[in-house]
Amino acid sequence: MGRCWMVLASVSEGEPGLRATFNGVANGFRFVSLDFEEAGWDAIVNISPLSSLASLELADASAMKQIFSSRSHYPKPLELPVYQQLASFGRNLVVSEGEEWKRYRRISGPAFGERNIRLVFTETVKIVNSLFEDVWKNSETIVLDHAPDLTLELSLLVIGSAGFGRPISWSSQQEEFKTTLNRVSGGLMLKLVLNNLQLSQWAPRWVERGVEGVVDWVIDLVRGAGTSETRKTHGTSTKQVRQAFRDFDHSMREMIDARRSGGGVAYDGKGMGTGRDDLFNLLLDANEAYQDGGLEKEEDGVQGGKLTDEELIGNVFMFLLAGHETTAYTFSWVLAMLALYPEEQEALYQHIKEVIPDGRDPTYEDIPSLTRVLAVIYEALRMFSTGAVRKTCEEDTVVTVSNIHGQTRIVPIPKGTEIVMNSFGVHYNPRYWPNPNTFDPSRFLSSSPQGDYPRDAFIPFAAGARSCIGRKFSETESIAFVTLLVGKYRIELKDDEEFKLRGESFEEKQRRILRGFQGISLVPYRIPLVLRRREG
């Protein structure tokens, strides 16, 4: 790594434009590509003053495509603490490479087929309608002090039903399972927030333990701005998180044993079960149907064959994490942007009425027609994505990067260098996205004057062979939720008297509402909303 530091630093110093930035404690991610703008190129070198670590950070779509397209030459840096934390319950798709990753992907893939995606849509429609009728009682006005108070709960209910085959209503009696899922998901969020502080790079372990005690309250912030409702539903402590991790492991093992002992599941011998269509059940189906394919035993001892119970739980845990936190916060950002841009919300509403003129519930078959709904979701993902995808260079190589003037240059990358695909950098790069700070869903419509959107510059689900396996799950849930909510309610920002008296401008309001911090995904500080029922 010392050689990487010297080579990259010398490159950044010796060539105008490509420069080094020095990241200290809790530097975090930025909403916009300021570092790249200041550098003048779509590549910068990050150097930590607290260690010998150096990395090359990219916001160039062509260079990123080169990295994403060669999985074997650019594996994940699995030794990083963040990946160790994501293996809390066992090895899984996210924290694996090589033949181990291929095996996980081969077994998990069938579980994310159309059977489950249809169930995701059906269950989301059912859950949202229950919200309207049973919780909100079809009220004219709904006040949300913080959008994640709603979206975290909604996403959890969808995961419970379509993910685990355990329907949880809004007034569910299954509080133990519901609470365990909440605390496990929030607990890992806390771990990743602590990881962003980079304590392990500069502080002894006893300091890290002390900080854990001090930051119990951070979980409340992470799970949603500390409103009373959020604290009651999602608040927890590190002690409760540890217990929740044990409870989750126990629950998963019980569910595996129950399904194997006959819990209504039959196997057809072709990788598809004849029982329920939830993700957990389909993963067990696929695992039972998977035949040892003669995979050679790897040097690290990984054996080709069916998943062990620990591997099953590890992968289920990752699906829970991705399906809950990331989707919930995407929902929150969508609502925030529709409230800030009422003209875009009106265009979306008119589109929904055009596709579903009789006011009925959307169906799975309507999805291809709901193009503007998906465009709104994509634009929110462009503006508020997960931050970065990290890779390691396995051998000395080069990449070609560009600047806004169309000039190119070759950057040497030494073996062992960490390469960071910065989603904020590429998503706010004006070479690909004109006026990148403006919420403009039409970028993703085929009727856009710019034509098809630049797919290589859109990486909220990563790209290449290692792109997110749950993308369709998330998109389908999002389309159902946004279609139903916008079709029934107008979304507005809740005006705080303090800011009204100040005469807050639109730009000031946007900066206030769109503040967030990096956890597993980009987490909003506070999004206060008012929902007003539409006439008719």
DSSP letter, residue 332: H
Dmax (CA) for the chain in angstroms is: 71
The dihedral of CA 297, 77, 433, 344: what is its sign? positive
In this structure, which long-range contacts are made by residues 230-238, counting pairs with CB atoms below 8 Å and at least 24 apart in sequence?
Answer: 230/146, 230/148, 230/149, 230/152, 233/149, 233/152, 233/153, 233/182, 234/152, 234/182, 234/186, 236/182, 236/183, 236/186, 236/187, 238/187, 238/190, 238/212, 238/213
| Interior angle at CA 326, CA 24 and CA 360, nearest 5 | 155
Cβ contact 336:513 at 8 Å: yes
CA 118 to chain centre: 21
C-alpha closest to that of 322 among 386, 260, 259, 277: 386
DSSP letter, residue 441: G
43-47 and 20-22 beta bridge pairing: parallel
468 in a known ligand binding site: yes
Cβ contact 443:430 at 8 Å: no
Cβ contact 267:274 at 8 Å: yes
Distance CA 340, CA 350 (A): 18
Helix axis angle, 98-108 relative to 279-289, nearest 10°?
120
Known binding positions for heme:
468
Residue positions forming the annotated binding site: 468
